[in-house]
Amino acid sequence: MQTTKEYAQLLDSQDPLASFRQEFYIQPGVVYMDGNSLGLLSKRAEQALLDMLESWKQLGIDGWLDGKHPWFYVSEQIGALLAPLAGAAPEEVIAAGSTTVNLHQLAATFYEPQETRTKILASSLDFPTDIYALQSQLRLKGYNPDEHLLLIESRDGRTIWEEDIIAAMNEEVALAILPCILYRSGQVLDMQRLTAAAHERGILIGFDACHSIGAIPHRFSEWGTDFAFWCNYKYINGGPGSTAGLYVNRRHFGRLPGLTGWFGSDKEKQFNMEHTFSKAEGAGAYQLGTPHILSSAPLLGSLELFREAGMDRVRQKSLLLTSYMLQLIRSELHSYGFTVGTPEEEERRGGHVALEHPEAARICKALKQAGVVPDYRAPDIIRLAPAALYTSFADVWAAVAALKEIMEKKQYEAFPNERNVVA
C-alpha cells in the first residue's frame, strides 16, 4: 500500500460519493473525525430548518396542517425516510424523543417479567445511559438491578462474544437489549444471529443503533428483531439534540405502549380530547408528547442525502476509509505504542477506528491543536470516525500524518493527560 498524500488523492478521484462532501460545511484547515459523536451540518439540513422556521414565521399555528412540511405529520414523514436505513417498513419507524426516552418507552413496553423470567440481558460494554435506564426499569417493577440486570462481560475489554451472549440466554431472561455497534471499540454484533437465538429461547430482543444507524445497513424487519432505538445526531447528521428514532416490528402493533401520551394517538381521534387512549396503528403509537419540530427539521434535509447516496454505497466507502486508516496506522504509527481496539474483520467493524494509548487524552488535545478533531473515551481510547458522506481519503491521510508528527515531536507533552468536561 502506498502511504503518500498523492495516493490518497488518487483514491478520492475514484470515489463515487466524493460529490457529497460539497453538501457539508467543512471548516478550512480542519479534518473532522468526530462524526460518531456529532455529525457535521449539511446545507440541506440547514435549509430544512430554515424552511420550518419560515412556516412558523408565516403561518403561526396553521403550520400544524399547512406549509411545506405540516408539523402534525412530520414525525411520520421522517420515520419513512429513516425506514430504509433500519431495514424496515415506514409504519414500523417513527422519529420521536431521545435515545434514553425511547429506551425507557420500549423497555416499559417489552419488559414483562413472569414467573422465573425476570432478568434483562445487556452488555458490560454498553453505553452508560442504556444501563441507567434498564436499572430504572427494573426498580420500577420491584426488582433489584444487582440481581436482575445480567451483564455479559468482555473477554478482552474491547469486544463481546456472541457465544457468551447466547450462552446467557436462559429461562430466567425476559428481555435482551444490546448495542448494534459497541461505542468504544466499534465492534459490530451479529444482530441476525442474536435475534434468532433469543427467539428460539422465548426471549424478546431489541438493539441500540446509536452507533450504527447511518454507518451500516440494517435489516430489522427481515431479521424479526422486536424493536430498536437510536439517536440521529451522529452519522445521520441531524444536529445536536436531534430528535431520535425507534423501530417496532409490525407483529407487535397490537401491544399497548408501556408509556402513553397524546401524540401516540390515532391522528383522526387525537383532538377528540377523550380520556380513552386510541393508539396509532404503527410505531407512531410510541410517541409521547408534542414533537420537537425544530429539532426534527434538519433530518428532512440530511436524510435526502442518504436516499441519494444509498446505504450500501455508504457502507462500502466507510469500510474503504477505515481499512485505509488501519493500513496507515500499521505503517506509520507502529513504533509509538498504539494498540488498535477495533476488530479488523470487515463484518465486525463499524464506522470508526479505536486507538488505545496511555497518553490518549493529551494526544487528543494535541490533535485538536493540529486541526484534527478526534473523540476521546476514558481511560485510553482515541476514536477516529471517517464519516463516508463528507470524509475524504486525504482527510484520513492527514489525520494519521498529524498523529505521527505529534508522536515524533512529543507535542502531546504540552497538555495534561485528562479529559475535558465534554470528551
User: CA 194 to CA 164: how far, in whole Å?
Assistant: 11
Neighbouring C-beta atoms of residue 197, cutoff 10 Å: 19
Q: Of 239, 241, 253, which Cα lies nearest the Cα of 89?
A: 253
**Residue 262 is labelled as binding a ligand:** yes
**Residue 190 is labelled as binding a ligand:** no
| Cis peptide leading into residue 379 (ω within 30°) | yes
- Helix 393-409 vs helix 360-369: crossing angle, to nearest 10: 120
**Residue 129 is labelled as binding a ligand:** yes
User: CA 377 to CA 310: how far, in whole Å?
Assistant: 30
Q: Is residue 383 annotated as a catalytic residue, yes or no?
A: yes
User: CA 418 to CA 423: how far, in whole Å?
Assistant: 9
Q: Of 93, 70, 75, which Cα lies nearest the Cα of 289?
A: 75
Helices within 73-190 (DSSP H only)? 74-86, 99-110, 128-140, 145-148, 162-167
The 8-class DSSP code of residue 333 comes to S
Q: Is residue 233 annotated as a catalytic residue, yes or no?
A: yes
Query: Which listed residue (220, 233, 263, 390) is catalytic?
Result: 233
User: CA 196 to CA 370: how far, in whole Å?
Assistant: 47
Q: Of 229, 249, 259, which Cα lies nearest the Cα of 103?
A: 229
**Residue 127 is labelled as binding a ligand:** yes
Query: Which listed residue (383, 393, 395, 412) is catalytic?
Result: 383
* Cβ contact 266:70 at 8 Å: no
Q: What grid cell was written down for 301?
A: 434535509
User: CA 125 to CA 154: how far, in whole Å?
Assistant: 7
- Exposed, middle or buried, 19 (CB in 10 Å: 0-12/13-18/19+)? exposed
Neighbouring C-beta atoms of residue 327, cutoff 10 Å: 15
Q: Of 298, 285, 159, 177, which Cα lies nearest the Cα of 230?
A: 177
Query: Which listed residue (127, 132, 253, 336) is catalytic?
Result: 127
**Residue 260 is labelled as binding a ligand:** no
Q: What grid cell was written down for 61?
A: 399555528
**Residue 128 is labelled as binding a ligand:** yes
- Exposed, middle or buried, 415 (CB in 10 Å: 0-12/13-18/19+)? middle
**Residue 227 is labelled as binding a ligand:** no
Neighbouring C-beta atoms of residue 270, cutoff 10 Å: 15
Q: Is residue 234 annotated as a catalytic residue, yes or no?
A: yes
Phi, psi of 334 (to 5 degrees): -65, -20
Q: What grid cell was written down for 374?
A: 478526534
Query: Which listed residue (126, 208, 226, 395) is catalytic?
Result: 208
Q: Is residue 127 annotated as a catalytic residue, yes or no?
A: yes
Query: Which listed residue (119, 184, 234, 349) is catalytic?
Result: 234
Residues annotated in a binding site for pyridoxal 5'-phosphate: 99-100, 127-130, 208, 211, 233, 262, 290
Which positions are catalytic? Answer: 127, 208, 233-234, 383
Residues annotated in a binding site: 99-100, 127-130, 208, 211, 233, 262, 290
